[in-house]
Amino acid sequence: MTTARRVLVTGGAGFIGANFVRYWSDHYPDDRLVVLDALTYAGNLANLASVSDRGNYKFVHGNILDEAMLDDVMRQQQIDTIVHFAAESHVDRSIHEPDAFIQTNVVGTNKLLMAARRLWLDSDAAPETHLFHHVSTDEVYGTLGADDPPFTEHTTYAPNSPYAASKAASDHLVRSYHHTFGLQVTTSNCSNNYGPFQFPEKLIPLMIVNALTGKPLPVYGDGSNIRDWLYVEDHCRGIDLVMNKGQVGGTYNIGGNNEWRNIDIVNQLCVSIDAAFSRDDRLAGQFPDAPAASGRKTESLITFVKDRLGHDWRYAIDATLAQSELGYNPKEDFASGFQLTLNWMLQNENWWRAVMDGSYRDWISKNYSAGA
Binding region for ligand NAD (CB under 6 A):
10-11, 13-17, 37-40, 42-43, 63-65, 85-89, 104, 108, 135, 137, 167, 190, 192-193, 199
Residue closest to 164 by CA, chosen among 66, 63, 310, 13: 310
Q: Which does 227 bind (CB under 5 to 8 A by kind): ligand DAU, ligand NAD, none?
A: ligand DAU
For ligand NAD, give the closer residue by CB, 258 or 298.
258
For ligand DAU, give the closer residue by CB, 167 or 178.
167
Strands 81-84, 131-137: parallel, antiparallel or unpaired by DSSP? parallel
- Considering only residues 107 to 146 of the shown chain, the ones binding ligand DAU according to CB under 6 A are 137-139
Q: Which of 38, 203, 230, 342 binds ligand DAU (CB under 6 A)?
A: 203
Q: Is 299 a catalytic residue?
A: no
Separation of first and last alpha carbons in the chain: 53
Count the residues in the chain: 372
Q: Which of 109, 166, 187, 225 binds ligand DAU (CB under 6 A)?
A: 225
Q: Which does 73 bind (CB under 5 to 8 A by kind): ligand NAD, ligand DAU, none?
A: none
Dihedral through CA 48, CA 187, CA 334, CA 204, nearest 10?
60
Q: Is 139 a catalytic residue?
A: yes
Strand partners, 37: 61
Q: Which of 151, 229, 252, 315 binds ligand DAU (CB under 6 A)?
A: 315
Question: Using the rule CB under 6 A, is 202 a contact of ligand DAU?
Answer: yes
Angle between helices 67-76 and 109-120 (to 10 degrees): 40
CB of 285 to ligand DAU, least distance (A): 27
C-alpha torsion sign, points 67, 68, 74, 77: negative
Strand partners, 228: 259
For ligand DAU, give the closer residue by CB, 245 or 308.
308
The whole-angstrom separation of Cα 368 and Cα 372 is 9
CB of 6 to ligand DAU, least distance (A): 27
Question: Using the rule CB under 6 A, is 261 a contact of ligand DAU?
Answer: no
CB of 262 to ligand DAU, least distance (A): 5
What amino acid occupies position 289? Answer: D
The whole-angstrom separation of Cα 172 and Cα 328 is 24
The whole-angstrom separation of Cα 11 and Cα 3 is 24
What amino acid occupies position 229? Answer: W
Cβ-Cβ contacts under 8 Å for 184 (sequence gap 6 or more): 120, 129, 130, 131, 132, 178, 248, 249
CB of 166 to ligand DAU, least distance (A): 11
Positions annotated as catalytic residues are 138-139, 163
Sites of contact with ligand DAU (CB under 6 A): 89-91, 137-139, 191-192, 202-203, 206, 218-220, 225, 227, 262, 308, 315
